[in-house]
Amino acid sequence: MAKTKKTKDSTRPKLCYIYTRVSTVMQVDGYSLEAQETYLRREAEHKGYQVVKVFSDQGKSGKNTVERDAFNEMISRITNGNQDNVEYVYVYKISRFGRNAADIMSNVQLMEDYGVKLYAASDNIDSAGGAGKLIISIMAAVAEGDRETIMEQTMSGRIQKARKGEWNGGQSPFGYKLNRNTSVLEI
């Protein structure tokens, strides 16, 4: 399939997509899908862009794009000729786009092959220039490092809970019940 770049027409509105994502980690950060969307709509309006569509993945990890249906639909719409004529994808911050540096950079390049740039609003990073791409690559590495740290902390917390005899989740083993007040398994 041939890649096409749309020519700019000064009479047509500037168009963008919004992509939001939360994972279980996001409840700690406090950035709900709704809060991200509200912030990004304001940013788009401020910069003179009209939002064509919002793509949201709830409860999806940023470690890869495999199970992020909304993300994949967005990329598909871009790579199938960009019929919506969007110029940008707005995300709250780079870590919402992904937490895997290779995935982030390959998807940014794929979008740009079709004339679509990435704008991380709270990071104020735009992929339109060389400096923006450099900063995105650095922030992508930071997001991936954060994911690794979160995984290590989560595992450490689970191990500590198990040492204290507390249950880490799932169904109680046969012959035991979970005391909901103490998170301890009882015979």
pLDDT at position 26 over 60: no
Whether the Cβ atoms of residue 105 and residue 140 lie closer than 8 Å to each other: yes
Query: How buried is residue 98: exposed, middle or buried, by Cβ count under 10 Å (0-12/13-18/19+)?
Result: buried
Tell me the per-residue pLDDT of 98-109, one tens digit each, with 9 for 90 and over: 888 888 888 999
> In this predicted structure, what is the pLDDT of residue 147?
59
Whether the Cβ atoms of residue 107 and residue 88 lie closer than 8 Å to each other: no
> In this predicted structure, what is the pLDDT of residue 159?
63
> In this predicted structure, what is the pLDDT of residue 178?
76
Tell me the per-residue pLDDT of 107-148, one tens digit each, with 9 for 90 and over: 999 999 999 999 999 888 888 887 777 667 776 666 666 656
> In this predicted structure, what is the pLDDT of residue 68?
92
What CA–CA distance (Å, rounded) separates 73 from 19?
Answer: 11
Contacts 24+ apart (CB under 8 A), 158-161: none
DSSP E strands: which ranges in 23-163? 49-58, 88-91, 117-120, 125-126
Could you tell me the two tokens for 40?
């990004």
> In this predicted structure, what is the pLDDT of residue 28?
43
> In this predicted structure, what is the pLDDT of residue 123?
86
- Cβ neighbours for 139, distance < 8 A, ≥ 6 positions apart: 93, 94, 95, 120, 123, 125
pLDDT at position 25 over 60: no
Whether the Cβ atoms of residue 15 and residue 47 lie closer than 8 Å to each other: no
Tell me the per-residue pLDDT of 29-66, one tens digit each, with 9 for 90 and over: 556 889 999 999 999 999 999 999 999 998 887 777 88
| φ and ψ of 80, to 5 deg | -95, 45
In 89-129, alpha helices (H): 94-97, 101-113
Residues 175-180: what's their mean pLDDT? Answer: 77
